[in-house]
Amino acid sequence: MQRGRATRTLADALVLANLLAPALLLASALAGYGPRALPYLPHVPVEWAGIATGAGGWLIERHRPLTARERATWITATIAILTCAASIETYLVPHR
């Protein structure tokens, strides 16, 4: 049981780091460049939605085991949303 708890705690820390890192990067970009950075950040809401989707799947898994179908759905949704964010970042960010 102790090993499972340590593994779960490590996974929780990784999920938390995955949630905090983009927020810290955004904060540093806005602190450094102010509103001039906004045209380069149209993907951020969608990216955060994808990250939150992945974290949401993890939180549910922590409280009850997901079925294989549920797990596949969460993974697919996360990948789809993050792919949309990457497309937005690629095509809507000004390239100068």
pLDDT, tens digit (0-9, with 9 covering 90-100), for 29-72: 999 999 999 999 999 999 999 999 999 999 999 889 999 999 99
**18-28: burial string, b at 16+ Cβ within 10 Å, e else:** eeeeeeeeeee
Q: Rounded to whole angstroms, what are the CA distances from 74 to 31, 59, 78?
A: 34, 11, 6
- C-alpha 61/C-alpha 65 separation (Å) is 5
Phi, psi for 29 (deg, rounded to 5): -65, -45
* Banded pLDDT at 5 (limits 50, 70, 90): confident
Residue extents of the structural domains in the chain: 2-92
- Residue 76 tokens read as 């697919």
| Contacting residues for 55 by C-beta, under 8 A, at least 6 apart | 15, 18, 19
pLDDT of 77 over the 60 cut: yes
Mean pLDDT (the chain, rounded)? 92
